[in-house]
Copies of this chain bind each other. A is one copy, B any other.
Amino acid sequence: RVNQDRLMKGIHDTCEWGKGERYGEAETETGMSRLSLSDTDKQARDWFHETTTALGCKVHVDAMGNQFAVRPGLNNDKPPTYAGSHLDTQPTGGRYDGILGVTAAVEMLKVLNDNWVETAYPVGVVNWTNEEGARFPMSMVSSGVWSGDIPVEKAHNLKSVIPANDTATMKSELERIGYLGSTPCSWESTPMAAHFELHIEQGPILEAEQRRIGVVEGVQSYKWFTVTVKGRDSHTGATSFQHRADALLTASQMILASHKIASKHGALASTGILNLRPGSTNTVPGWVQFSLDIRSPVDETVNKVEEECKAAFSALASGDNILDIMTGCTPSSRHCSVDWRTDFVSPATHFHNDCITCVQQAGADLCGEEGGVKDKDIGAWGKFMTSGAGHDSVYANKRCPTSMIFVPCRDGVSHNPAEYSSPEACADGANVLLGAVVRYDKL
């Protein structure tokens, strides 16, 4: 069993680097703002390196800055079974997303050492770079390069989402903070026997159903787009509605249309970034660009929502009142243009049965019940789940057996400073992670 206090100390000590907004009085009631490859991310990486080295691991860094710490086994002619996640956060993120997965994996190393456990094969801990996609807008990009799905040049050349303030690319930042490793970033250079990832659920289900552990069977499908709407800059006081090509009014309709279309299909569509030009109170914006994130457990549904949004956005740009909301307004005689760019595609993922079983058995063991048969008789302690969020496990799963463990988080809140999981929930998850890795090693 893990040491709960030590685990929590690991989380909160490392959260000194990149501390974010305060949301409560207690010392640890602040969020996190540790964007990938920032100075504070470097501090967290240095901690990872020093701590795992001190625990007897050999650590290497690849061309995407992914850090791999390996604890030898009795037999080292097979690749390690890995546990891990990521240390970067959202700009206004919390203390658990990613961080719990890495610190629990480090805690696993400590438990193995404390108990003189010799695993059959090596065991590893991994910290993946820029999982969030919050600074460089492809989520899980570095596990994606590792799996061979994303070309390393494309990843290296990714620019910050705020080019006006942050002109860095991933490569320039990797160089700047000293984490452009010499190992090629690939599953061939750094092979894995399996990949286990502990994560907070980031949704409300486990808490609502009072379950301790989510046994994650897969991850829903998603696509990210950048939509650009072009109209015409004009004077807000001297230009009648009829003479405008208002890119923001049009973009507002598009955001509502995407919400309606996704609702109809039981899918999600969200806009998290919106920029406009020129940005003056008395100028109708002639240029608006926004992100669109479409998700559903079914690939086909994501594609349908994308197609319907494309048709709807074209109609809206041409001035068609397809939402009927402009009824009663003078139609504009000038129209906007719309352009789509696909930034990221992550099809639906189904994890490996062996790993799912290891997680289920470790959960049942922790919670004092027999692990039932998958999909049928899991105890009241757990639930089989599909992740709404993407994780590095999606790409890991392409090259090695993979599964994930979810623990409840308060009110389902994530990507928010107030994100919170209780110490007991964190320890539950860390115990299942430890149990699953040891089980897989035996397997």
Interface residue ranges, A against B (CB under 8 Å): 90-92, 132-134, 137, 139, 161-162, 164-165, 201-204, 220, 222, 224, 232-241, 243, 246, 248-249, 251-253, 255-256, 259-260, 262-264, 268, 270-274, 276-286, 291, 293, 295, 323-326, 328-330, 343, 387-390, 412-417
Q: Which of B203, B237, B248, B279 contacts A268 (CB 8 A)?
A: B237
Please give the count of copies of this chain that the complex contains. Answer: 2
In the complex, what distance in Å separates the CA atom of A277 from the CA atom of B92?
A: 9
**Structural contact, A415 and B139, CB atoms closer than 8 A:** no
Shortest beta-carbon contacts, A-B, top 7: A238-B388, A202-B238, A236-B270, A252-B252, A92-B278, A263-B329, A203-B238
**Structural contact, A282 and B278, CB atoms closer than 8 A:** no
Quote the shortest CB–CB distance from A27 to chain B (angstroms).
Answer: 22
In the complex, what distance in Å separates the CA atom of A328 from the CA atom of B240?
A: 33
**Structural contact, A413 and B91, CB atoms closer than 8 A:** no
Q: Which of B238, B286, B293, B325 contacts A281 (CB 8 A)?
A: B293
The answer to whether residues A281 and B272 also contact, given A235-B414, A263-B241 and a CB cut-off of 8 A, is yes
**Structural contact, A273 and B280, CB atoms closer than 8 A:** yes
**Structural contact, A165 and B164, CB atoms closer than 8 A:** yes
Can you name 8 A-B pairs with beta carbons within 8 Å? A134-B281, A161-B281, A236-B293, A260-B325, A272-B279, A274-B274, A280-B415, A323-B325
In the complex, what distance in Å separates the CA atom of A324 from the CA atom of B222?
A: 28
The answer to whether residues A414 and B132 also contact, given A281-B273, A329-B259, A330-B263 and a CB cut-off of 8 A, is no
Q: Which of B137, B161, B252, B293 contacts A256 (CB 8 A)?
A: B252
Residues of chain B within 8 A of A390, CB atoms compared = 237
The answer to whether residues A255 and B263 also contact, given A92-B278, A272-B283 and a CB cut-off of 8 A, is no
**Structural contact, A280 and B132, CB atoms closer than 8 A:** yes
Residues of chain B within 8 A of A280, CB atoms compared = 90-91, 132-134, 161, 272-273, 415
In the complex, what distance in Å separates the CA atom of A329 from the CA atom of B325?
A: 15
The answer to whether residues A416 and B276 also contact, given A270-B284, A281-B224 and a CB cut-off of 8 A, is no
**Structural contact, B248 and A220, CB atoms closer than 8 A:** no
In the complex, what distance in Å separates the CA atom of A251 from the CA atom of B240?
A: 22
In the complex, what distance in Å separates the CA atom of A329 from the CA atom of B232?
A: 32
Residues of chain B within 8 A of A253, CB atoms compared = 252, 256
Q: Which of A232, A246, A273, A278 has the most CB of B within 10 A?
A: A278
Residues of chain B within 8 A of A255, CB atoms compared = 248-249, 252
In the complex, what distance in Å separates the CA atom of A264 from the CA atom of B330?
A: 9
**Structural contact, A249 and B243, CB atoms closer than 8 A:** no
